[in-house]
Amino acid sequence: MSRKKLLSNLSILSIAAATFLFVGNTPALAQQGSERSQFVRNLRLGDRGLDVKALQIILNSDTETRIAPSGSGSPGQETDYFGQLTLQAVIRFQNLHKKDIFAKAGISGATGFVGTATRSVLEEKNTAVSAIGAAPVTPPSTAPAATRTSQTNSVFSPLSLAGAPRITAAVKQKVFLYRALPAQVAPKGTVTLSGSGFDATENTVHFAGTAIPNLPSADGKTINVPLPGDLALQKHEVWVENKNGTTKGSPSPIRFLVTNTPVDPPKIIAVNPSLVSIHEDTIVITGTGFAPAGNNFYTSLGTAMNLSSSDGKTISLKLNSLSNLEKVKNPDLRGITISLWMSIQNENGTQIDPFPVPVTL
């Protein structure tokens, strides 16, 4: 090993050691740190990094500061590059928060430079944005998560997705909506909205030009919405508004379909073979509600889109069509079984809780 390489490896190790010794022995500081922002540097035009991507995610959480409506930089397609679109979005952000930024930064107009003052406001907004979706489930065992035995010892097996997620993040909550169930409902039926940041008594639910005020949420995570009988038989986008904010304009619109003939969403029941090798060519997925075409699978390792089912009960999926499959192959992990989480979406709706497929590496 060359002297240069040895030194670089030693520097990596020293960072690692310092990190762990610091984290392990100063809980108060670590806890304090966990509530701070990831913006540890100023950001400007031309910068690259995941903090730039985080900046874009925060800017995209507000329609007024969205980087772009579609394509690169748009919600879900954030990049690590601080380009002109990001610059313009930061300027809009600074103008929106001029009272908090201009005087503190000593500027009279927006500059697009993300300095201390802008970072401070971003931190507040970041805290609100990040409060969404923190959903603890049944705590996993702290025992070793996998073994090299033939026994199925799933990476994710200790996790239970049963029950409504709950929010525990000790940060300011922003109202967040992630599903409406059932996805298909008859007129005069009831839709249950799931999310977080719901008020105990005063939530206004909007859909189809209608606003139903003062809907309660006993747990802060679900709202039952009774539907009027005169709703048009079509899909309706729904959003929630309360003192915490609104879900209107979310990059992930939530909708339900009003129909006289509602059907259940697709559901995966089993996979053949029951224990899949990562080197398997094709697996057969069995379930209900599969469409003749247009079945889309969302998995831990990538998506498989527009698959067909001739009988409505089975679908063949080529494992190597999952874009990240090759990246988890590692000779050092041979024999370990992981869970490949899988949800199906088609014209009948979406399987909300993913199905774990055991895969042996």
**231 to 290, contacts with another protein by CB under 8 A?**
235, 251-256
Helix axes 84-96, 98-105, angle to 10 degrees: 100
Please report how close the Cβ of residue 329 comes to another protein at its closest, in angstroms.
8
Q: How far apart are CA 283 and CA 276, in angstroms?
A: 8
Binding status of residue 143 toward another protein by CB under 8 A = yes
Shortest Cβ distance from residue 204 to another protein (Å)? 21
CB of 85 to another protein, least distance (A): 17
- Of the two residues 54 and 315, which places its CB atom closer to another protein in the complex? 54
Answer yes or no whether residue 227 interacts with another protein by CB under 8 A: no
Half-sphere exposure of 207 (CA within 13 A, CB side): 25
Is 17 a binding residue for another protein by CB under 8 A? The answer is yes
- CB 342 → another protein: shortest distance, Å? 10
Q: Least distance in Å: CB of 48 to another protein?
A: 10
Q: Could you give the CA distance from residue 47 to residue 269 in angstroms, rounded to a whole number?
A: 47
- Nearer to another protein by C-beta: 102 or 298? 298
List the beta bridge partners of residue 203: 215
Nearest approach, Cβ of residue 244 and another protein (Å): 15
Q: State how far the Cα of 300 lies from the Cα of 203, in Å rounded to an integer.
A: 34
Q: How far is CA 230 from the centre of its chain?
A: 34
The single-letter DSSP state of residue 139 is P
Strands 355-360 and 254-258: unpaired
Identity of residue 177: L
Nearest to 94 by CA among 73, 129, 118: 118
Shortest distance (Å) from residue 327 CB to another protein: 4
Q: Using the rule CB under 8 A, which residue among 84, 168, 234, 272 binds another protein?
A: 168
Least distance between another protein and beta carbon 316 (Å): 21
By CB under 8 A, the residues from 30 to 49 that bind another protein are 30-31, 33-38, 40-41, 49
Residue of 46, 69, 136, 249 interacting with another protein (CB under 8 A): 136
- In the range 93-132, which residues lie near another protein by CB under 8 A? 123, 126-127, 129-132
- Residue 347 to residue 344: CA distance in whole angstroms: 10
Q: Which of residues 281-340 bind another protein (CB under 8 A)?
A: 296, 298, 300, 324, 327-328, 330, 332-333, 336, 338-339
Q: Which is nearer to another protein, 110 or 167 (CB)?
A: 167
Return the number of the residue (143 or 281) whose C-beta is nearest another protein: 143
Task: For another protein, give the closer residue by CB, 203 or 346.
Answer: 346
Task: Give the DSSP per-residue string, 13-66.
Answer: HHHHHHHHHHHHH-HHHHHHHHTS-S--S-B-TT-BSHHHHHHHHHHHTSGGG-
Total chain residues near another protein (CB under 8 A): 109
Q: State which of residues 3, 4, 99, 243 lies at the interface with another protein (CB under 8 A).
A: 4
Q: Is 13 in the site for another protein (CB under 8 A)?
A: yes
For residue 132, the minimal CB distance to another protein (Å) is: 5
Question: What are the C-alpha distances in Å from 164 to residues 131, 168, 192, 352?
Answer: 16, 13, 11, 11
> Which of 45, 212, 263, 352 touches another protein by CB under 8 A?
352
Cα distances (Å, whole numbers) of residue 333 to 148, 158, 325, 359: 8, 19, 14, 12
